[in-house]
Structure 1
């Protein structure tokens, strides 16, 4: 029994000969494109104040007043100077990527932006801070600027309790972005190796 070949077998051999390397390159490129897309989703989420479609809770009036007293404008959460938003990066090689804030990332003042990101992602506190006379003057100026009437119900313990609420910006963006990731990823690979999708 003889086998009858039809079609361009020389072309088929050429396509299959370089297939492994082309597929590996296509997977690497698709992975990097998806990572850049996730980074864009995170950055836009912070800019629009709704990562993954989940709106941030607004800043407290005292936080806005503190920003103004320190010479910063704006009322957006996580964007005082833009250091955190600008530190979101993509790092990787052929078969793995990291999207987020690197441990070595530093703000303009030298603070660890990975620590800042963690505090905002999960919240922090309560912290009990002993109040100095200078802090007390600042606090009353802050309350006045924010239009908040100081209450006498504090008990006069001489401390301030600080609670930083969670404003997750990585997890909601990741959850929103992962919808459809398998289809996008396979389409990117197919296009890169020359298949019609």
Structure 2
């Protein structure tokens, strides 16, 4: 009987810890979406092909170059080009630093050292999710994109690209999400052209 009580006590502790971690990660956060606008967004980029779980490799190669260039704080972001269900090895995405808020001299300095792209202005469905730790990069999208996609489906729009903005890696408080309300991918062709070769 004593061993049964101990087992129940341990199970209770595990359940409480799991529930606490779930809450900490934003498990009880209500995802809301709003209609707004995104862009134009200019960003320095590095391409990534394949599993999002290997983003750390692309970031690990990109960030030292950014720091060596001495361009200041990187306002980090990611652009996701493929629809859900795309085979993992064919996934295409771009990571990098947003620079359109900089003055022209700063932007020119960035353009001289890195390739840049511009996401044109458009209407978009917007949302956000709290950031807690590196797991948030994987957990937040599983909560947010289903809500965004449901909103787009209600409008008869197929998702085009997904834009996530994180801000400075040293001070991330939330992840901002934006999906343009446009099914036509033509305006984003320059992003796809990065992977043409």
TM-score of the superposed pair, with normalisation by structure 1: 0.25
| Bigger helix fraction | 1
Query: Which of these two proteins has the greater Rg computed from alpha carbons?
Result: 1
TM-score of the superposed pair, with normalisation by structure 2: 0.25
| Bigger strand fraction | 2
